[in-house]
């Protein structure tokens, strides 16, 4: 506690001087108090009498062949980029020149400091690190560890995902074992620890662990809602250099501010559950004269099969609409309502919610109405909604609101469909697909959900939830509740922004869900948020909102998609294969076109491999090829180019042998469907001889389920063959339209499944 009190005193002194950033000398003081190494240094205030004699004092007081002269300024935090750092020989004349040069550029600086030069190799990977920490409303304090030096941001931006800086919330790394796991997975540290070919260990793990745990200790204390009256916004050492087998800080930045009390009043679990399994539903805003949003919702509820006797309309002066009884207000309803669907003009929303809350008969609201907070000038309406929620909970603690700006919720098990999309515009995701795993789809964007469902009509989630602008119930609240459903094996998530502490909660929920064998496919929007914070410094730009979410949620166990197509592809693979035990990365590739075979081979990167078939399987394949008169033109290899001469029978037989062999973790078939040897078009009398019922797809799909071995089909052809693709998906076989994309995505999915 003494150490923390001493750090608090440093911050208190700076705050009394109206500063929000520490001087580097003060940062060094905090590091030293924490038992962390800094170079020996001297400080000289910006007074001519002091600076005039500084050179001689520096030469006599410091050792080594070189000295680092730099400004000390609370306004210029990143000094190297600004030209505020000079490395000089430790000779009086040269040091005098350096002092004059630096002081001349920054006359407003509080002073200068002279540091002993720490010998290190700044241009070698694993010799300079950036260790940073920053406050984050979504995840709490974050620690970032990556390659350091003046080019840290440029290097980071050039790295592919998975090789960038490690980012971890301090609240998810509470012991040395968890910190060691974070360090073991850090790309930059692999060089320092000698785990990259050609590298050597330059420093022991324990040295870095000491720094990580010290930073975490400080950030846990100096945070919003913590024990201190101050919160650290950014704390960075860059570079943190390897010198003589130890780590030493060569530059330090710390920005702080008064701490504030923050929090979010989360809805109760019972309130969220009411929205996910409503026994009674009421709709507000239905027009008896025209087909407005609320009336479309009403009719969609009836078409979904919801019991009209448990469906109500809240409307004064009308007895019934479309066979559903109307009631003048929520207080007049004959029973408590689990789902209260509100689709009225935004200006009316606060009053509608006040009445709902005051009635004590409403548990969950689905707020379709938009224009509350997300549009300039609507802040007053948003505040009215928030106030109505607070007052409603005084009467009913389980009151919960989903929205506003929600596109609706579809719950096939409850026969609920509150989408306001007309029936002729889309096939509703009602019913279930017995060929896929139990799935929930939770999205902040309603358009994202209906777009994905339109592209993937085979997808029939047990829960399709569009959340809107998260004025009460958030995406994370829904995922938290749905992760408890035993029969749900896949949860698809689209999220744009987090409410306070929701990122940390989502990471914990994902960790628990993965331990239960569930798979979470996630897309995080809002990648440009980091750009808005880049002015804060290296740590904020490198560990910005998107980078932090991707790193933390990926590490927690989410399969994070890089783009919309990836999300759809990975969702397809997860929904079809989550019930299969992840096999080996050995894949049997087969195509009837040489370019497709080559494309698959090119993408067979770890964890995928295209190893040859064993002797017994190779012999069986040769027999099959001979039986179908292909042995004269086809060699047995992997990938196997079976040529356009292969019939469905030949393709089916080789597929059967590969699936039954036990040698391969998956079979990937890429069949260009234009060959006359295959049945790839629907039967149509005399127009052409094809018949999809005679294709190899049916038996192959059945065998895939028997063997529990993934089978993936690629159809590299145009829209004429859409029925062929639809038939494969109907049978439970995932379909891609290019072989290299299929191999790439399956490799990504398999890596994730194997890690689980």
For residue range 648-667, list pLDDT tens digits in order.
Answer: 999 999 999 999 999 999 99
Least confident of 327-341, 370-384, 683-697: 370-384
**DSSP conformation class of 266:** P
- Evaluate whether 331 touches 361 at the Cβ level (below 8 Å): yes
CA distance 600 to 672: 14
Q: Distance from first CA to last CA of the chain, Å, rounded?
A: 40
CATH code that applies to domain 587-755: 3.40.50.261
For domain 128-258, which CATH number applies: 3.40.640.10, 3.30.470.20, 3.40.50.2000, 3.30.1300.10? Answer: 3.30.470.20
Provide the pLDDT for residue 323. Answer: 95
Least confident of 50-64, 289-303, 447-461, 572-586: 50-64
Nearest alpha-carbon partner for 573 in 514, 565, 715: 565
Provide the pLDDT for residue 154. Answer: 55
Provide the pLDDT for residue 374. Answer: 59
Average confidence (pLDDT) over 411-427 = 93
CA distance 4 to 279: 54
Residue 441 has which token pair?
Answer: 């789809």
Share of the chain above pLDDT 70, in %: 94
| Residue 68: its H or E element | strand 66-72
Our CA dihedral for 546, 547, 552, 555, rounded to 10 degrees, sits at 120
CATH code that applies to domain 2-116: 3.30.1490.20
Alpha carbons within 13 angstroms on the beta-carbon side of residue 73 total 19
* Bridge partners of residue 410, in order along the sequence: 417, 464
Alpha carbons within 13 angstroms on the beta-carbon side of residue 278 total 34
Collapsed DSSP state (helix, strand, coil) of residue 351: helix
Domain map of the chain by residue range? 2-116, 128-258, 267-405, 432-579, 587-755
Confidence of residue 499 (pLDDT cuts 50, 70, 90): very high
CA distance 668 to 659: 10
CA distance 737 to 716: 5
Share of the chain above pLDDT 90, in %: 77
- Evaluate whether 125 touches 191 at the Cβ level (below 8 Å): yes
* Residue 70 pLDDT greater than 70, yes or no: yes
Peptide bond into 232 cis (omega under 30): no
Sign of CA dihedral 537, 98, 42, 54: negative
Nearest alpha-carbon partner for 641 in 586, 598, 610: 598
Collapsed DSSP state (helix, strand, coil) of residue 507: helix
CA distance 360 to 398: 10
- Evaluate whether 702 touches 671 at the Cβ level (below 8 Å): no
* Residue 96 pLDDT greater than 80, yes or no: yes
Alpha carbons within 13 angstroms on the beta-carbon side of residue 731 total 25
CA distance 490 to 488: 6
Q: Specify the higher pLDDT residue, 382 or 676.
A: 676
Provide the pLDDT for residue 533. Answer: 40
Topology (CATH) of 432-579:
Rossmann fold (3.40.50)
Q: What is the mean pLDDT of the chain?
A: 91
451 φ/ψ angles, rounded to the nearest 5 degrees: -65, -45
The pTM assigned to this predicted structure is 0.92
Provide the pLDDT for residue 157. Answer: 57
DSSP 682-748: ---TTS----GGGSSHHHHHHHHHHHT--EEEE--S-GGGHHHHHHHHHTT--EESSHHHHHHHHHH
Provide the pLDDT for residue 269. Answer: 96
* Bridge partners of residue 749, in order along the sequence: none
Nearest alpha-carbon partner for 80 in 140, 154, 150: 150
Q: Specify the higher pLDDT residue, 474 or 157.
A: 474
Average confidence (pLDDT) over 1-8 = 92
Provide the pLDDT for residue 685. Answer: 67
* Residue 44 pLDDT greater than 80, yes or no: yes
Provide the pLDDT for residue 145. Answer: 94
Task: Examine domains 267-405 and 587-755 and report if their fold is the same.
Answer: yes
For residue range 111-165, list pLDDT tens digits in order.
Answer: 899 999 988 887 677 889 999 999 999 999 999 999 887 655 555 555 555 566 8
Apex CA 734: angle with CA 731 and CA 739, to 5°? Answer: 135
* Residue 56 pLDDT greater than 60, yes or no: yes
Provide the pLDDT for residue 329. Answer: 96
* Residue 554 pLDDT greater than 50, yes or no: yes
Confidence of residue 381 (pLDDT cuts 50, 70, 90): confident
* Residue 66 pLDDT greater than 90, yes or no: yes
CA distance 201 to 214: 23
**For tokens 């929930």, what's the residue?**
440
Average confidence (pLDDT) over 434-459 = 96
- Evaluate whether 223 touches 135 at the Cβ level (below 8 Å): yes
CA distance 378 to 376: 6
For domain 267-405, which CATH number applies: 3.30.70.1380, 3.40.50.720, 3.30.470.10, 3.20.20.80? Answer: 3.40.50.720
Nearest alpha-carbon partner for 583 in 708, 736, 438, 496: 708
Distance of CA 722 to the CA centre of its chain: 32
Average confidence (pLDDT) over 199-220 = 94
* Bridge partners of residue 520, in order along the sequence: 491, 558
Distance of CA 456 to the CA centre of its chain: 22
Nearest alpha-carbon partner for 569 in 333, 746, 310: 746
Our CA dihedral for 12, 17, 23, 25, rounded to 10 degrees, sits at -60
359 φ/ψ angles, rounded to the nearest 5 degrees: -70, -30
- Evaluate whether 112 touches 88 at the Cβ level (below 8 Å): no
Distance of CA 539 to the CA centre of its chain: 19
Confidence of residue 51 (pLDDT cuts 50, 70, 90): confident
């Amino acid at each position: 506690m003494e150490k923390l009190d001493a750090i608090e005193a440093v911050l208190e002194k700076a705050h009394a001087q109206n500063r929000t950033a520490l001087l580097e000398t003060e940062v060094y003081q905090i590091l030293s108090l924490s038992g962390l190494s800094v170079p020996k240094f001297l400080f000289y205030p910006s007074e001519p009498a002091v600076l005039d004699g500084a050179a001689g004092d520096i030469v006599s007081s410091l050792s080594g062949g070189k000295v680092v002269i730099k400004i000390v300024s609370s306004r210029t935090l990143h000094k190297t980029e600004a030209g505020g750092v000079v490395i000089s020989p430790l000779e009086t004349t040269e040091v005098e020149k350096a002092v004059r040069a630096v002081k001349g550029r920054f006359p407003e600086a509080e002073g200068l400091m002279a540091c002993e030069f720490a010998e290190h190799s700044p241009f070698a990977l694993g010799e300079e690190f950036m260790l940073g920490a920053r406050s984050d409303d979504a995840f709490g304090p974050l620690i970032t560890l990556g390659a350091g030096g003046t080019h840290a941001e440029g290097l980071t931006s050039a790295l592919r995902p998975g090789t960038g800086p490690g980012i971890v919330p301090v609240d998810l790394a509470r012991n040395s074992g968890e910190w060691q796991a974070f360090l073991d997975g850090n790309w930059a540290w692999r060089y320092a620890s000698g785990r990259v070919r050609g590298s050597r260990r330059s420093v022991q793990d324990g040295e870095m662990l000491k720094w990580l745990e010290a930073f975490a200790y400080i950030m846990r204390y100096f945070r919003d809602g913590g024990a201190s009256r101050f919160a650290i916004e950014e704390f960075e050492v860059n570079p943190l250099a390897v010198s003589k087998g130890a780590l030493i800080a060569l530059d330090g930045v710390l920005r702080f501010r008064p701490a504030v009390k923050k929090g979010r009043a989360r809805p109760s679990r019972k309130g969220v559950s009411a929205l996910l399994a409503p026994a009674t539903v009421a709709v507000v805003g239905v027009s008896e004269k025209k087909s407005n949003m609320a009336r479309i919702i009403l009719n969609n509820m009836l078409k979904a099969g919801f019991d009209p006797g448990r469906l109500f309309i809240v409307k004064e002066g009308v007895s019934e609409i479309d066979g559903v009884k109307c009631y003048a207000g929520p207080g007049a309803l004959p029973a408590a309502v689990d789902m209260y669907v509100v689709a009225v003009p935004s200006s009316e929303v606060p009053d509608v919610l006040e009445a709902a809350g005051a009635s004590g008969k409403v548990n969950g609201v689905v707020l379709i109405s938009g224009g509350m907070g997300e549009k300039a000038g609507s802040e007053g309406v948003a505040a009215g909604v928030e106030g109505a929620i607070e007052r409603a909970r005084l009467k009913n603690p389980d009151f919960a609101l989903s929205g506003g700006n929600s596109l609706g919720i579809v719950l096939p098990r409850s026969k609920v469909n509150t989408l306001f999309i007309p029936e002729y515009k889309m096939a509703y995701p009602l019913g279930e697909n017995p060929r896929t795993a139990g799935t929930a789809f939770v999205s902040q964007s309603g358009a994202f959900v209906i777009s994905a469902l339109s592209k993937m009509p085979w997808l029939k989630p047990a829960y399709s939830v569009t959340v809107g602008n998260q004025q009460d119930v958030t995406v994370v609240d829904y995922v938290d509740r749905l992760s408890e459903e035993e029969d749900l094996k896949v949860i698809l998530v689209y999220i744009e922004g987090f409410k306070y502490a929701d990122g940390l909660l989502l990471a914990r929920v994902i960790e628990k869900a993965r331990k239960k064998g569930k798979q979470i496919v996630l897309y995080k929007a809002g990648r440009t948020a980091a750009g808005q914070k880049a002015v804060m410094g290296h740590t904020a730009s490198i560990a910005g909102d998107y980078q932090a979410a991707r790193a933390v949620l990926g590490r927690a166990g989410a399969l994070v998609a890089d783009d919309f197509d990836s999300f759809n592809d990975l969702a397809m693979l997860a929904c079809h294969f989550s019930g299969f035990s992840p096999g080996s990365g050995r894949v049997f590739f087969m195509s009837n076109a040489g370019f497709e075979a080559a494309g698959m081979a090119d993408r067979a990167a770890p964890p995928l491999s295209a190893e040859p078939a064993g002797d017994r399987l190779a012999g069986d394949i040769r027999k099959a090829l001979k039986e179908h008169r292909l042995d004269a033109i086809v060699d047995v290899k992997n990938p196997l180019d079976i040529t356009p001469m292969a019939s469905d029978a030949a393709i089916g037989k080789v597929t059967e042998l590969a699936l039954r062999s036990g040698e391969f973790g998956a079979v990937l078939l890429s069949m260009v469907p234009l060959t006359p040897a295959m049945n790839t078009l629907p039967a149509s009398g005399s127009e052409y001889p094809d018949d999809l019922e005679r294709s190899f797809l049916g038996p192959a799909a059945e065998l895939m389920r028997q063997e529990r071995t993934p089978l993936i089909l690629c159809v590299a052809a145009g829209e004429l063959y859409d029925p062929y693709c639809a038939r494969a998906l109907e049978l439970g076989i995932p379909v891609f339209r290019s072989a290299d994309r299929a191999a790439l995505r399956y490799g990504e999915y398999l890596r994730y499944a194997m890690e689980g």
